[in-house]
Structure 1
Amino acid sequence: MKPLTLFFLSFLGVLAVLACGRQEAQSTQKKEKKPIETLAVLGALPQYVTDPPDNPSSPFKVTLGRLLFYDPILSGNRDVACATCHQPEFNYAEFLETSIGVNGLGSGSKRRFKVPNDIPFVKRNSQSILNAAFNGIQNQGTYRPELAPMFWDLRAKGLEAQALLPIRTLEEMRGHGYAEETILDEVLARIRSIAEYEMLFTEAFAGEPKPINATNVAKALAAYERTLVANNSRFDQYLRGDSAALSTSEKEGLQLFLKAGCAKCHAGPMLSDYQLHTLGVPDSPNNREPDAGIRNDYAFRTPTLRNLRYSAPYMHSGKFATLEQVLQFYEDLSGGKIVNPHVRPDQMDPLVKELKVNFRDISRIVEFLGTLNDDNFDKTVPDRVPSGLKVRGNVE
């Protein structure tokens, strides 16, 4: 065979190898490419709430829980109620970056510390209690409310376990006057001294010889909080079969939400996977030290996307005042930018690499998020509380 022919055949062989290599690489890329989530990963909220087996709801229990929720008798200085930082007009959250609990005065953006003050800000943004009855719910499986994940760091399970922790926390409700180990005994002694509360606990927990105890305070608060639901948004109506519940542009925003990868974490009926993720969210300047979270890796729970219209500012640090700012943050993330200087690249959640948020899509995604709002929830505030203290504490 002639040398020229051998050279030509060798050249063809090299081309064939290169072509095969390219095809194999393209095939591998196709295999590695993650599928875009579909509408099926989301879900409508249930129309009814599930109670834990050991705390079935009753009208007496809910009435008692509402009064306790608004009564500052639960705080060390008698100046803070649960409703001080979880206000009906703000979706049972609060319009502050991070909350002011003990030694505070005023409401909403006007709340401030009294002077002098030696109480720190509450560490994280006040999460909404609305729909907390559905925390952790997913599309498949049986929902167990006693295992519902609570707080930004998942340190409690179930509304009953969550209810008492703010009472024990220095900056939220306890203050300097009582130790963490003794504050509940003090609160219970106060409640037992009020005849009206004695009657209300007896009605709510009939048959118990000594119904005023810490467990029943938690059960009453949780029973009331499970009545605070907003489960008939236009998005819920759309998923239940009303195709006209969303406009054409809102449906486009929904598709862009899915295409951008938002549903990789914001899935299920509450649009949250209830997992901890490190995203490099900027810290609040209200904290004296960086907030590294419960695992010391700056990971925080995926928040629900429901009723966002009423619960600004956003993220665990409350650093973003608008949804547009939140999505711009995610656009920066998808471009590889880490905003928090304390977070290392190796700490970032791998799912960040799958985000594809584009600036041109932000307005339509925000339009879709608006369909998750439902203003039809209980905003009833009692005219008085059994202690005779100011309803909601020092908010005026």
Structure 2
Amino acid sequence: MPRICLLFFLTLFCLACGQDRRELRQRKDKVVETIADLGALPKEVTHPKDNPSSAEKVELGRMLFFDPVLSGNKDVSCATCHQPEFNYAEFLETSIGVNGLGTGSNRRFAANNTIQFVKRNSQSVLNTAFNGITNNQPYDPESAPMFWDLRAKGLENQALEPIKTLEEMRGATIEDHRILEEIVERIRKIPAYNQLFSKAFAGEPQPVNHKNLSKAIAAYERTLIATNTRFDQYMRGDSNALSTGEKEGLNAFLVTGCAKCHSGPMFSDFKLHTLGVPDTENRKETDAGATKKYDFRTPTLRNLRYTAPYMHSGKFATLDQVLLFYEDVAGGKILNPHVKSGQIDTLATHMDVNFKDISRIVEFLNTLNDDEFHKTVPTSVPSGLRVGGL
């Protein structure tokens, strides 16, 4: 009998040792990001070689950004969906572009409307001058990734896409291959714009063209930066910029795996990931993204206080809801019925977000807010139309 007991306990001991070794290997295999995988934003912006900034160019871009003359029906501007008070985004699940009335949460479609909601949540324009930036690497603004599906590179290319998109600014009255020509023709008939373009692009025989239009808007957007958050101050050497609780939240952010995708100075790897985020109910069709795999770009985590709701479909109203979603994903729960379990990115399924960590992580994320950015809205625009749209 004693011999049997001894064999039993030896077996248990060996099993326990084997389990300990497996857990040790798993811990060794798990790579935990460090604060070095994050970073402070540069204080200065890098401009493309063929689009150096100037005060005249920025002022022209500012006028164009707020002028509904750029839309097919002259009823919506860039600023309609990218409002200064909402961090150059807006407080709607998905935007109402053409055929809309009002601003912010009061915006609605006009009577007898046949246009759908914009396909995805309006991303902030703030800090897009740094899109794609990585630590200790040269920054190329011409290759900066744009949009939820990465369909454009550089702010110059990004600036023209909404003008060409039916739901956003083009409308149904002008075909997409004609809209830029139509907009340029309109602008050439406005004396004030001719003067502004001539000053911004001095020496060009015909400065009013769609390329210069995009360059002016991009030059203005590169002035919309917020680079002095308390986290930036902390990374630049001020150890007192974060509280003890915020530092604990930073550690939780790293340990749970958030920084595997939300990395670098912009807290984004600017890659596509399939997460199974539920679709917006503002559109009838499902949104499978550009690759048809339901993968969308990692958004920045900067200035989240002002840019709710979150995710490409705008389905989550609070940061707590976003983190609870990641807890569900790691637990095997998929909220989008069109997405299969095998499609979910393993970087998300291997996360270790727990309810107890959520409040601490949110506390840290609030250190990424900086309210000191340009919010000035022009009192009028050269077209004479209503600033910002109807």
> TM-score scaled by structure 2?
0.95
Matched, 1:148 2:144: yes
Secondary structure at the aligned position of 2:296 is classed as: strand
Secondary structure at the aligned position of 2:240 is classed as: helix
1:175 alignment counterpart: 171
- Written as runs of structure 1 = structure 2, the 5 A alignment for 1:8-87 is 25=22, 28-32=25-29, 34-87=30-83
Query: Shift in Å at residue 356 of structure 1?
Result: 0.6
The CA distance in 1 between the partners of 2:22 and 2:369, in whole Å, is: 45
Q: Which runs of 5+ in 2 are unaligned?
A: 1-6
2:195 alignment counterpart: 199
1:4 alignment counterpart: none
2:332 alignment counterpart: 336
Which aligned runs of 4 or more in structure 1 are off by greater than 4 angstroms?
13-28
- Checking the alignment, whether the CA contact within 8 Å between 2:332 and 2:341 is kept in structure 1 is no
Amino acid at match of 2:351: L
The CA distance in 2 between the partners of 1:57 and 1:71, in whole Å, is: 21
Fraction of identical pairs, as percent: 68
Query: Shift in Å at residue 349 of structure 1?
Result: 0.4
Residue number among 346, 371, 378 corresponding to 2:374 in the alignment: 378
The CA distance in 1 between the partners of 2:81 and 2:154, in whole Å, is: 19
Matched, 1:252 2:238: no
Query: Shift in Å at residue 287 of structure 1?
Result: 1.3
Query: Shift in Å at residue 213 of structure 1?
Result: 0.5
Residue number among 227, 236, 243 corresponding to 1:240 in the alignment: 236
1:223 alignment counterpart: 219
Structure showing greater radius of gyration is: 1
The CA distance in 2 between the partners of 1:392 and 1:60, in whole Å, is: 20
Deviations 1:178-231 (A, max 9, x none): 000001111000000011111110100011100010100000000000000000
Deviations 1:352-386 (A, max 9, x none): 23211111111111111100000000001001000
1:127 alignment counterpart: 123
What is the root-mean-square deviation of aligned Cα atoms in Å? 2.1
The CA distance in 1 between the partners of 2:37 and 2:378, in whole Å, is: 39
How has the CA–CA distance of structure 1 residues 17 and 359 changed in structure 2, closer, same or farther, with 3 Å as cutoff?
A: closer
Amino acid at match of 1:291: D
Amino acid at match of 1:57: S
1:7 alignment counterpart: none
2:273 alignment counterpart: 277
Query: Shift in Å at residue 346 of structure 1?
Result: 1.0
- Written as runs of structure 1 = structure 2, the 5 A alignment for 1:349-364 is 349-364=345-360
Deviations 1:255-283 (A, max 9, x none): 11111110000000000000000000010
The CA distance in 2 between the partners of 1:26 and 1:251, in whole Å, is: 28
1:96 alignment counterpart: 92
Residue number among 320, 323, 326 corresponding to 1:327 in the alignment: 323
The CA distance in 2 between the partners of 1:256 and 1:295, in whole Å, is: 32
